């Protein structure tokens, strides 16, 4: 690898795989409505229906290219959404990919969703989760909050 480059520079973003970033990132699905929470940061994420289907497939190692091929969709927005999830700390890249084929039921959910892959972030409690409650917090009128200043 040349100076100044990284492995992500030479890997095709459409064919690389992803995995869930850590054991603190857990999710639940309610008939296609997916909620993801990062137990370490306290951030909650609500995924649109198509995003929930993609979440399942990314977590199982499918690449944007394989999902796009199976769904008959442009893989570029799928890869862009995977990168969005990476930016939130929910997924990490696996440049080698897993070679996993996308789950057909998830492909069907993705195709039937009829919405754009989107993620809504709820971070009201994030400061509390990430604070060290001994060294960084004080009592407010309720529960500890992060010390200011």
Partner 1 sequence: MGIAARERGDDRAGTIGSASVAEYAAALLAMADSAGARLQPTRIQLPWLDLTVRLSEGPLKQAIAETIVPLTVAAGQDRKTLSVTILHAGLSGVEAPRPWGDEPYFPHELNRRLGPAGLQASFSHDQCLWQVMSSGEGRAVQLMQGPEDYPPWEPGAPLRVFLHWAYAAIGRRLVHGGTLGLDGRGVLLAGAGGAGKSGTVVAGLLSGLASVGDDYVLVDLSGGVSAAPLYGTLKQDPAGYARLGLAERIGERPLNWQGKHQFHVRDIAVGPIPPRLGLQAILIPKTGATRTTLEPASARDVLLALAPSALWQMPGERESGFRFFATLAGRLPGYVLHLGPEPAEIAARLRRFIEDGRP
Residues of this chain that bind partner 1 (CB under 8 A): 23, 26, 28, 30-31, 33-35, 37, 39-40, 42, 44, 46, 122, 124-125, 128-129, 132-135, 137-139, 141-143
Residue 50 CA to its chain's centroid (Å): 13
77 φ, ψ (degrees, to nearest 5): -65, -25
| DSSP secondary structure letter of residue 21 | S
Q: How far is the CB of 138 from partner 1 (least distance, A)?
A: 8
Q: In terms of CB distance, is 52 or 64 closer to partner 1?
A: 52
Q: In terms of CB distance, is 46 or 94 closer to partner 1?
A: 46
- The distance between the two most distant Cα atoms of the chain, rounded to a whole number of Å, is 56
Q: In terms of CB distance, is 96 or 143 closer to partner 1?
A: 143
Q: How far is the CB of 72 from partner 1 (least distance, A)?
A: 28
CB 18 within 8 A of CB 93: yes
- Rounded to whole angstroms, the Cα distance separating 63 from 66 reads 5
Q: How far is the CB of 43 from partner 1 (least distance, A)?
A: 10
From residue 83, alpha-carbon distances to 32, 107, 132, 140, 148 in Å are 21, 19, 29, 37, 33
Q: In terms of CB distance, is 108 or 121 closer to partner 1?
A: 121
98 contacts: CB under 8 Å, gap ≥ 6? 17, 19, 61, 62
Q: In terms of CB distance, is 3 or 28 closer to partner 1?
A: 28
């Amino acid at each position: 690898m040349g100076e100044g480059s990284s492995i992500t520079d030479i890997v095709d973003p459409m064919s690389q795989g992803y995995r869930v970033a850590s054991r603190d990132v857990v999710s639940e699905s309610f008939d296609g409505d997916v909620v993801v929470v990062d137990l370490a940061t306290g951030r909650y994420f609500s995924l649109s229906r198509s995003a929930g289907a993609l979440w399942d497939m990314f977590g199982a190692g499918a690449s944007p290219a394989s999902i796009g091929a199976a769904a008959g969709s442009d893989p570029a927005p799928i890869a862009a959404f995977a990168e969005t999830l990476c930016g939130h700390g929910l997924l990490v890249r696996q440049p080698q990919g897993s070679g996993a084929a996308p789950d057909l039921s998830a492909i069907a959910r993705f195709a039937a969703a009829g919405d754009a892959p989107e993620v809504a972030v709820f971070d009201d409690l994030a400061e509390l989760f990430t604070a060290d409650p001994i060294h960084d917090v004080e009592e407010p009128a309720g529960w500890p909050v992060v010390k200011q200043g």
